[in-house]
Amino acid sequence: AQSVTQLDSQVPVFEEAPVELRCNYSSSVSVYLFWYVQYPNQGLQLLLKYLSGSTLVKGINGFEAEFNKSQTSFHLRKPSVHISDTAEYFCAVLNILTGGGNKLTFGTGTQLKVEL
Amino acid sequence: GAVVSQHPSWVICKSGTSVKIECRSLDFQATTMFWYRQFPKQSLMLMATSNEGSKATYEQGVEKDKFLINHASLTLSTLTVTSAHPEDSSFYICSAFGGINPYNEQFFGPGTRLTVL
């Protein structure tokens, strides 16, 4: 099964600064990647996803990610963060099961802390 | 996006009791629902996948007799933690998936925090 790795457990950044959260995926022929955000004591909200097509994917809240096949990466970026972006961010890969169905496999998460 | 609710949002119970958590898709029919468990400051771990009208498929290492999952309708799945113990304390999150396209989005519920005393 495919997997994703998030190398940074915490990323502190000042408000209005740019940020990049890193995600690398295991090599595969076809890969479907997602970024989710989780605010404290809440479920997950989809930020963006890559299924095919353009390698630059734009999502909600001003986030974008670039699918890079040569580096097997799908890093999440935002040019200027706000205090409200403080949350846990999860990268995930969709595994299509041979018997039908699918399941998401999540990375370990990156805590983004935006400071004044 | 579609809305998925969970009830209760927070539950505290005594060791040895059973707790039922409901997951509902409010505005779409969920052919598949997933149950995840999340320990503090950790990632989501898939526990089981349930398809409406059939038995749930459990991930390796998850005790199916302890975590009973029922998906009786296209809008409701329940997770029952039987004979709960303190080590079962965790954040339980469900997600729902509709249709047959495997690339359709999973919609997540807000989670249920279970504390077993």
Residue-wise pLDDT for B16-73, tens only, equals 999 999 999 998 888 889 999 998 888 899 999 998 888 899 999 999 999 999 988 9
User: Which of A43, A96, A107 has its CB closest to that of B43?
Assistant: A107
User: Which of B43, B93, B105 has its CB closest to that of A43?
Assistant: B93
For residue range A58-88, list pLDDT tens digits in order: 999 999 999 999 999 999 999 999 999 999 9
The conformation of residue A85, written as its DSSP 8-state character, comes to G
The two tokens of residue B63 are 């005790």
The pLDDT value given to residue A95: 84
Token pair 């029952």 is found at B80
The shortest C-alpha distance from A106 to chain B (Å) reads 6
CB contact under 8 A, B105 and A96: no
CB contact under 8 A, A46 and B43: no
Name the closest residue on chain B to residue A108, using Cα atoms.
B43
Instruction: Say which range, A7-16, A24-33, B21-30, has the weakest mean pLDDT.
Output: A24-33
Question: Is residue B71 a contact partner of residue B56, using CB atoms and an 8 Å limit?
Answer: yes
For residue range B72-97, list pLDDT tens digits in order: 899 999 999 999 999 999 999 999 98
Amino acid at B51: N
Q: What is the 3-class SS of B21-69, one letter each residue?
A: EEEEECCCCCCEEEEEEECCCCCEEEEEEEECCCCCEECCCCCCCCEEE
Chain A residues with CB-CB distance to B42 below 8 A: 108-109
User: Strand order of the sheet with strand B67-73?
Assistant: B4-7, B19-25, B76-81, B67-73
Higher pLDDT residue, A114 or A40? Answer: A114
The pLDDT value given to residue A9: 94
CB contact under 8 A, B110 and A42: yes
Residue A83, SS3?
helix
The shortest C-alpha distance from A88 to chain B (Å) reads 9
Cα–Cα nearest to A88, from A3, A8, A4: A8
CB contact under 8 A, B42 and A105: no
- The CB density around residue B86, as the number of other CB atoms within 10 Å, is 9
User: Which of B1, B41, B102 has its CB closest to that of A96?
Assistant: B102
CB contact under 8 A, B102 and A94: yes
The conformation of residue A72, written as its DSSP 8-state character, comes to T
